[in-house]
Structure 1
């Protein structure tokens, strides 16, 4: 069985869409849906609490912290970390279980954006490649409990790049796979900042990390860019 862990912050518009999608797309392998809220000021808490299949967890803000808090409470042997603006494919839970039964302890889906733009389509194409440079949190992430706990979860010093940092450690174990089905994620940051400004920001974060920038330096650079 699978515990779905969804970190949220002010997702009153997207969370109902995701919860409805999960109900319609699952194959019966979902043990629980844990929504970990980092202090939302909109109707996100009410939406989560009113859903009969959701376990609502208040948390300190920070996606790494929120995901770790969800994992502490999760009951299943497979964790599935999912962003509120990403919609997994049909029968996603059965696809994950099949990979675990085949010996894969961690992995993600191929990703496409909900925006038709040639560059975003190309970026989606590259997510089919099983290489760390092609990974990101919007592709979602499944990982066996035992492996997650052995790696001690997400590094909470990271406010940005937390998914990539943890996935990098998963790759080092040799257990990462890419499921050949498409998850659809929102291009809302690209819509807000523009395609090229957003892509430049991601490239800058990637290379700063490769060149040894600290978690604090990554966040400072990210915050400065999205605030300007």
Structure 2
């Protein structure tokens, strides 16, 4: 059974749609939905608390911290980390369970954006490729709980790039697989910053990390560019 872990911060617009989607898209293999709130100032808490299938918990802000908090509370044998603006395919839970039962202990879905732009379509196409350079958190992440604990979970020093960092460790274990179904994610950052500015920011972060930048340096650069 899956434990779905959703890190949230001021997600009152996205969370209701996601929770409704999970109800109709799942096929009976979801043990629980854990929403880990990093201190929202909007209506996120009430939305989560009012949903009968959601276990709501708070933690320090930061996706790595929030997802580790959810993982510690999870009852399922498989952890499924999902961003609040990403909508997995129909019967996603069965697809994940089948993957794990076939020996693939970690992985993600192919991803497409909810925006009609040729570059974003191209980026989505490359998520079919099972290579670390094609990975990112919006593709979601499933991982067997025992494996997650074995590798030490998310590195909480990372306030950005935390998904890529843990995925690299899973690739090093040769455990990562791609499910050939599509998760749809919001292009809201691309809409806010513009497609090319956003893509250039991601390239900068990627190469800074490749060249040895610390978690703190990545965080500082990301938010400086985000708020410029």
State how 1:65-104 maps to structure 2 within 5 Å: 65-104=65-104
Match of 1:145 in 2: 145
Provide the C-alpha distance between the structure 2 equivalents of 1:222 and 1:170, rounded to a whole number of angstroms.
24
Match of 1:22 in 2: 22
Shift of 1:102: 0.3
Summarize deviations over 1:186-208 as a string: whole Å, max 9, x none. 00000000000000000000000
CA-atom RMSD, angstroms?
A: 0.3
Shift of 1:216: 0.2
Match of 2:130 in 1: 130
Q: Is residue 162 of structure 1 aligned with residue 162 of structure 2?
A: yes
Match of 2:48 in 1: 48
Match of 2:58 in 1: 58
State how 1:176-191 maps to structure 2 within 5 Å: 176-191=176-191
Summarize deviations over 1:130-149 as a string: whole Å, max 9, x none. 00000000000000011000
Summarize deviations over 1:150-206 as a string: whole Å, max 9, x none. 001000000000000000000000010000000000000000000000000000000
Q: Is residue 213 of structure 1 aligned with residue 213 of structure 2?
A: yes
Summarize deviations over 1:77-134 as a string: whole Å, max 9, x none. 1000000000000000000000001000000000000000000000000000000000
Provide the C-alpha distance between the structure 2 equivalents of 1:2 and 1:224, rounded to a whole number of angstroms.
37
Match of 1:2 in 2: 2
Provide the C-alpha distance between the structure 1 equivalents of 2:108 and 2:160, rounded to a whole number of angstroms.
19
Match of 1:204 in 2: 204
Name structure 2 gaps, 5 residues minimum: none
Give the match's secondary structure for 1:52.
Answer: coil
Q: TM-score, normalised by structure 2?
A: 1.00
Match of 1:120 in 2: 120
Provide the C-alpha distance between the structure 2 equivalents of 1:121 and 1:35, rounded to a whole number of angstroms.
30
Give the match's secondary structure for 2:83.
Answer: coil
Structure 1 ranges of 4+ moved more than 2 A: none
What is the aligned length?
A: 228
